[in-house]
Amino acid sequence: MNRLEFYMFHLMPYPFIPPGEDLESTWVTLPNTHFDARTAHKLYLEYMDQLVSCERLGYDGIIVNEHHQNAFGTIAAPNVWAAYLAARTSRIRIGIVGNALPLHLNPLRVAEEIAMVDIISGGRIISGHVRGMGAEYHSSGQNPTVSKARFWEAHDLILKAWTSDGPFTWQGEHYDIEHANIWPKPLQRPHPPIWLPGTGSADTIDEAARRRIPYMQTTTSNHVTKKSFETYRRVCEEKYGYEAAPTQLARVVPTYVAETDAQARREFMPHVMWFFRTGLRIPMHHLMPPGYNTAESFLRGMKGRMAAGVKDFWNLSYDELIDLGYIIVGSPQTVAEKYAEQQEQYGLGAMISAGGHLGSMPHWMVMKNMQIMAEEVMPHFREQGRPVWADTRPAGATTVSEHAATVGRPPIEPVLRLDNGKDLPARTGHIPEVLAETLGQALGPSLGQD
């Protein structure tokens, strides 16, 4: 078993905007006059090449997500990207972390799209379920006060749709569906793996632990990350009676590796600082719209930030980002040592954003980062240097002959009910003898018979 799994997480930002100091926010209110579709076309092609290259380089997975009306991350429809990635790759895992469930009017649409992409990919999808940042509620016009309740109801409905035979009726607080009966259902059984990202909320951690959903800590300091993982493991053991496996804990920590520590720090600096000072410039009234959190939760969070001296992302210096553990940067030896420390201290099993794109990085720098990560860091955490998917049999047949040998024909043959009440086998109905026998008469010119 590999000690760590490595995932490339792509936000697909649009960095050609004014510096953060000149903006109120990079979210919600940033005028889209700054956006040029021709430039975005070039960026999207580069971003797709980076993600597709992860399979050749040996990453365990690639991850995309959903954001709206901002320059920080321009993936408004992650399932579209996942479908394209499924067509361009053959074995690597594809994570959609995730679909912002409360923003969708009908969760069954998400269930159907994930099922489709899971089938297309041969059973390689990880389905991340997210509530969506507060800013998304400004952008979508959805009511943030019911977002948490809508999220968990949508999650439960999707899970039931994937695992239960339909039609069934769903009558919930926020969704009322008389005929829930998705076609198709996903290839993976009982359903695609579900991941739940978060920033350390006690409620989120508790729900993830209770449902045994892997928890993914998004970009936070070492202190906050360690506290979150300790809470998750403690809740799993003391409240729900099981020991959390390392594969249930993943961390997003943007990482850049280069030939030396000095070179890595020099190359990464402008791009990671764009990420934190411009891409993540989001004022509190956008990040936390009224009702997104309860007054008690909001007050507890603010007091905790003040007591710990936590700064806004855009006020952190480069040295602070490194020293506090928001990012990892250095030579292969330095990065491998940092990863080993995190594995030992936090008990995690996966590193997200482990070498890849961030902020305003140019294409050549991304590819260099990934190449060095694959050649000189990943092997330290793998017994045979192989990603997890290399030893996993695909959920679907990879050849027509394999399908014929293991699946055969469906249990029900397609037939055509004729006017005489007889059923014509659709697969052999074109054969004159079969057609004539079923019709009970000689074939005429309309059926190709002279």
DSSP per-residue string spanning 324-359: TTS-EEE-HHHHHHHHHHHHHHH---EEES-SS--T
Distances (CA, A) of 228 to 135, 173, 182, 210, 244: 23, 30, 36, 15, 13
pLDDT at 22 over 90: yes
The structure tokens listed for 419 are 């006017």
Determine what percent of the chain falls in helix, strand and coil, rounding each to the nearest 5: 50, 15, 40
Identify whether 236 is part of a domain.
yes
Cα–Cα dist 180/370, whole Å: 43
Provide the 10 A C-beta neighbour count for residue 450: 5
Give a yes or no: residue 234 inside a domain: yes
Do the domain assignments include residue 443? Answer: yes
Domain count, the chain: 2
Tokens of 81: 């990207």
If you search the block for the tokens 């960095």, which residue do you land on?
15
Note whether 329 and 369 are within 8 A (CB). Answer: no
In a domain, 405, yes or no: no
Q: Contact at 8 Å (CB) between 81 and 146?
A: no
- Which amino acid is it at 293? N
**Proportion of the chain above pLDDT 90, given as a percent:** 79
- In the block, tokens 């999650």 appear at 155
Examine residue 403 and state whether it is found in any structural domain, yes or no.
no
Residue whose structure tokens are 């899971």: 118
With a CB cutoff of 8 Å and minimum separation 6, the contacts of 192 are 114, 118, 123, 125, 126, 127, 162, 186
Same domain flag for 330 and 365: yes
Residues 330, 213: one domain? yes
Q: Three-state DSSP class for 416?
A: strand
How far apart CA 356 and CA 354 sit, in angstroms, is: 6
Do 370 and 433 lie in a common domain? no
Is residue 422 within 8 A of residue 416, CB to CB? The reply is no
Flag the least confident range among 84-88, 212-216, 291-295.
291-295
247/203 same-domain check: yes
Residue given tokens 């480069």 in the structure block: 318
188 and 68 in a common domain: yes
Same domain, yes or no: 228 and 305 = yes
pLDDT tier at 149, thresholds 50, 70, 90:
very high
- Structure-block tokens of residue 362: 């140019």
pLDDT at 383: 87
Question: Helix 202-211 vs helix 222-234: angle between axes, to the nearest 10 degrees?
Answer: 40
Query: In this structure, is residue 404 part of a structural domain?
Result: no
- Chain position carrying tokens 């597709």: 52
Q: What is the pLDDT of residues 259-314, one digit of tens each?
A: 999 999 999 999 999 999 999 999 988 888 888 877 676 666 666 666 666 788 88
**Co-location of 103 and 211 in the same domain:** yes
Residues 296, 439, single domain; the answer is no
pLDDT at 334: 98
Residues 49-63: pLDDT tens digits? 999 999 999 999 999
**pLDDT at position 423 over 80:** yes
Tokens standing for residue 285: 């009234």
Whole-number pLDDT of residue 305:
65
Please report the pLDDT score of residue 307 as a whole number. Answer: 65
Q: Using pLDDT thresholds of 50, 70 and 90, give the confidence band for residue 205.
A: very high
In whole angstroms, give the CA distance from residue 35 to residue 357.
Answer: 20
> The CATH number of the domain where 213 resides is what?
3.20.20.30
Cα 238 to Cα 195, 230, 232, 329, 366, distances in angstroms: 22, 12, 10, 36, 42
Tokens 């201290």, residue located: 345
| Rounded Cα gap, residues 448 and 142, in angstroms | 59
**132: pLDDT confidence band, cut at 50, 70 and 90?**
very high
- Are 377 and 438 contained in the same domain? no
* Residue 279 located in a structural domain: yes
Residue 289 lies in a domain: yes
Determine the structural domain holding residue 343 and report its residue range. 5-391
